Amino acid sequence: MVNNPSRRRMIDFELTEEQRLIRDTARDFADNEIAPRARENDRNHRFDTELVRKLAGIGFLGSMLSEEYGGRGIDYRTYGLIVEEVGRADSSARTVVSVTTSLVGSAIDRWGTEKQRRKWIPGLCSGEALGCFALTEPDTGSDAANLKTRAEKIEGGWRLSGQKQWISLGSHAAFALTFAQTDPDKGHRGLAAFLVPTDSEGFSSSQIHGKLGLHASDTAELSLDGVEVGEEALLGDVGDGFKVAMTALDSGRFSVAAGAVGVCQGCVNASVAYAKQRRQFGRPIAAFQLVQAMIADMVVDADAARSLVWKAGWLKDTGRPNTLETSVAKLFATEASIRSANTAIQVHGGSGYVDDYPVERYLRDARVTTLYEGTSEIQKLIIGRAVTGVNAMT
Ligand code: COS
């Protein structure tokens, strides 16, 4: 890599040549390939497989995955720039990038054997064999250690039984990174992670309908009814499952935060353009102080959120602990994206309430980001525990 920024240990807001090039490429791709399809995909609740192929073709699905398996090997800060641009254009497309690269890809890259990496990462990067992250269950969301899905040891492998809920890409994935309990007496230390092909006997998925937003993203329920997998399906060791999930979420939360920055920036861009062109009382509404105040609030949110994402990325790139800062970035950026989308609708008036402009979709799509990959309340508890040393969760 030219001038690899991950080698720079000083925090630096200047983009390298390479980062600028990648950001500009992502911006063009978002404007020309993603944004023009977003409204129709949203209206038709269409998971756009052609767009998935294009995201793979430009290398976004393997962004920071290892190059030897088909990834691009870029650092987190640069990955964040890509995710921001994709998120600005369409959060459903951004979800494909986040799940594929962060939740599933980074987990296999970090915890997988050489054989597992060779088997699964190339398909993620090419988009030909997507994965999904099957942690959440109907009765288990925030309390992720308390899974009901069971993994029972059988000769030569494992038998998995249970239900998974709210699984992004669950009906399009070729395999599910599935978390299951091997020994309930051991609590989180009994969990294990498995790479389960979705065409396994006993595995089924069904799409969840009626979502407020992310209409172009696939969200599914999974059912594992005595699914048998070999030893090679185990990712990490028995007992590593909770750590596999938490490290994947450290990456996933970063990605959600970066996508939320994109929504914030999209709200600024749309509002500035609209306010300059919409005239009332004989002048553009951009000339009114109350409209400028709304735009200023959005700019501050976008800038602050981006800075927090940059800081979390810098910590990741320089190998420092970053769970706290990732939670800070995720909490702030996702809440800011909802605030900004709501304000952007206010700037647009009645026009913001229909999908001629992207802002109502921004609001519907942003709403889930304070729920998934750890609610805002969970992020606050992680932050609170880190700074007080007191665990308010148990
Ligand atoms: N990276 C690596 N290891 C981690 C970790 C991280 N980010 N976070 C926790 N761990 C490890 C801890 O070090 C501890 O290890 P030991 O067993 O060696 O002691 C273990 O995992 C248990 O950690 P902790 O005590 O923090 O677990 P809790 O049960 O208190 O869980 C929360 C804490 C609430 C933070 C966790 O359950 C969580 O993140 N919940 C939200 C889940 C979520 O995001 N769901 C959405 C799924 S995707 S839609």
Whole-angstrom CA distances from 242 to 158, 225, 299, 349 are 18, 22, 38, 46
Ligand 1 atom nearest to 141, measured from its CA: 45
Q: Which residues of 150-166 are buried (b: 16+ CB within 10 A; e: fewer)?
A: bbeeeeebbbbbbbbbb
Give the closest residue (by CA) to ligand 1 atom 15.
243
Q: What is the second-level CATH architecture of the domain 132-242?
A: Beta Barrel (2.40)
Q: 31-89: per-residue pLDDT in tens? A: 999 999 999 999 999 999 999 999 999 999 999 999 999 999 999 999 999 999 999 99
Residues of the chain with CATH 1.10.540.10: 12-128
pLDDT greater than 80 at residue 21: yes
Report DSSP state, residue 334.
H
Q: In CATH, which superfamily holds the domain spanning 243-388?
A: Butyryl-CoA Dehydrogenase, subunit A, domain 3 (1.20.140.10)
Q: Does residue 373 carry a catalytic annotation?
A: yes
Q: 270-316: per-residue pLDDT in tens? A: 999 999 999 999 999 999 999 999 999 999 999 999 999 999 999 99
Is 66's C-beta closer than 6 angstroms to any atom of ligand 1? no
Is 312's C-beta closer than 6 angstroms to any atom of ligand 1? no
Give the closest residue (by CA) to ligand 1 atom 28.
145
DSSP 228-291: EEEGGGEES-TT-HHHHHHHHHHHHHHHHHHHHHHHHHHHHHHHHHHHHH-EETTEEGGGSHHH
pLDDT greater than 50 at residue 1: no
Amino acid at 235: L
Q: What is the pLDDT of residue 9?
A: 67
CA 259–ligand 1 middle distance (angstroms): 23
pLDDT category at 11 given cuts 50, 70, 90 is confident
pTM: 0.96
Residues of the chain with CATH 1.20.140.10: 243-388
* Closest C-alpha to 286, from 304, 357, 296, 355: 296
Q: Which one of 137, 325, 335, 373 is the catalytic residue?
A: 373
Ligand 1 atom nearest to 243, measured from its CA: 3
* Closest C-alpha to 366, from 292, 275, 260, 271: 260
CB 225 within 8 A of CB 161: yes
Q: 47-62: per-residue pLDDT in tens? A: 999 999 999 999 999 9
CA 373–ligand 1 middle distance (angstroms): 12
Whether the CA torsion 292, 293, 298, 300 is positive or negative: it is positive
Q: In CATH, which superfamily holds the domain spanning 12-128?
A: Acyl-CoA dehydrogenase/oxidase, N-terminal domain (1.10.540.10)
Q: Helix crossing, 76-89 with 17-29: angle to 10°?
A: 20
Q: What is the pLDDT of residue 10?
A: 75
pLDDT category at 127 given cuts 50, 70, 90 is very high
Cβ neighbours of residue 93 closer than 8 Å, sequence gap 6 or more: 34, 38, 48, 51, 55, 86, 216
Q: 348-363: per-residue pLDDT in tens? A: 999 999 999 999 999 9
Is 189's C-beta closer than 6 angstroms to any atom of ligand 1? yes
- Token pair 């995201």 is at which residue? 55
